């Protein structure tokens, strides 16, 4: 995703362009993997003195609603990354060295259909960790 694509989606959905929003998009586009709200705040504070965590969270929620960002929880903390192109339900391979995330299109949930026949699954999480080709060959 490019910054102007994200801005276009904001505008289409009736949200104003602000330099802050463009900077948040830029931050996530340049990050290869997941980042916390606190990491974003630290980055934003370099340009916007006194910006609050509240403002950060408000924009993160908005961006997630608009599917510009996707999120996951790790140790009780919500982490965000720029949305993968796929748009549909998917999982990730995450590089433990550089944080690069690769979307995985196949969902393993159907494997358990039989085993959980009498159960109702509400949510599921599936992630693979390891080294990306660049880090693996280093």
Annotated binding site: 89, 95, 98, 124, 132, 135
- Residue 3 or 84: the one with the smaller Cβ distance to Zn ion is 84
Under rule CB under 5 A, residue 84 binds Zn ion? yes
Report how far apart, in Å, the C-alpha atoms of 56 and of each of 46, 102, 104, 107, 131 are: 14, 26, 29, 31, 31
Q: CA 88 to CA 104: how far, in whole Å? A: 11
Contact call for residues 89 and 109 (beta carbons, < 8 A): no
Q: Which is nearer to Zn ion, 52 or 65 (CB)?
A: 65
CA 68 to chain centre: 8
Minimum distance, C-beta of residue 20 to Zn ion, in the bound complex (Å): 24
What residues numbered 38-77 form the site for Zn ion, per CB under 5 A?
Answer: 70
Looking at beta carbons only, is 46 or 137 nearer to Zn ion? 137
User: How many other CB atoms sit within 10 Å of the CB of residue 68?
Assistant: 25
Q: Is 110 left (phi over 0), alpha (psi -120 to 50) or beta?
A: alpha
Question: 100-119: which residues touch Zn ion (CB under 5 A)?
Answer: 100, 103, 107, 109
Closest distance between Zn ion and the C-beta of residue 50, in Å? 33
Stretch of 40-48, 56-64, 115-123, 126-134 lying at the interface with Zn ion (CB under 5 A): 126-134
Q: Interface residues with Zn ion (CB under 5 A)?
A: 70, 84, 95, 97-98, 100, 103, 107, 109, 132, 135
């Amino acid at each position: 995703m490019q910054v102007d694509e994200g801005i276009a989606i904001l505008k289409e959905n009736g949200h104003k362009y602000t330099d802050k929003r463009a900077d948040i998009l830029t931050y996530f586009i340049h990050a290869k993997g997941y980042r916390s709200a606190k990491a974003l705040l630290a980055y934003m504070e370099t340009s916007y003195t006194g910006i609050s965590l509240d403002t950060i969270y408000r924009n993160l929620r908005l961006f997630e609603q608009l599917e510009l960002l996707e999120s996951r929880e790790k140790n009780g903390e919500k982490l965000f990354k720029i949305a993968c192109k796929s748009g549909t339900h998917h999982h990730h391979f995450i590089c433990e060295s550089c944080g690069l995330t690769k979307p995985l299109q196949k969902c393993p949930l159907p494997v358990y259909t039989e085993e959980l026949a009498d159960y109702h699954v509400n949510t599921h999480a599936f992630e693979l960790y390891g080294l990306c080709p660049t880090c693996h060959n280093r």
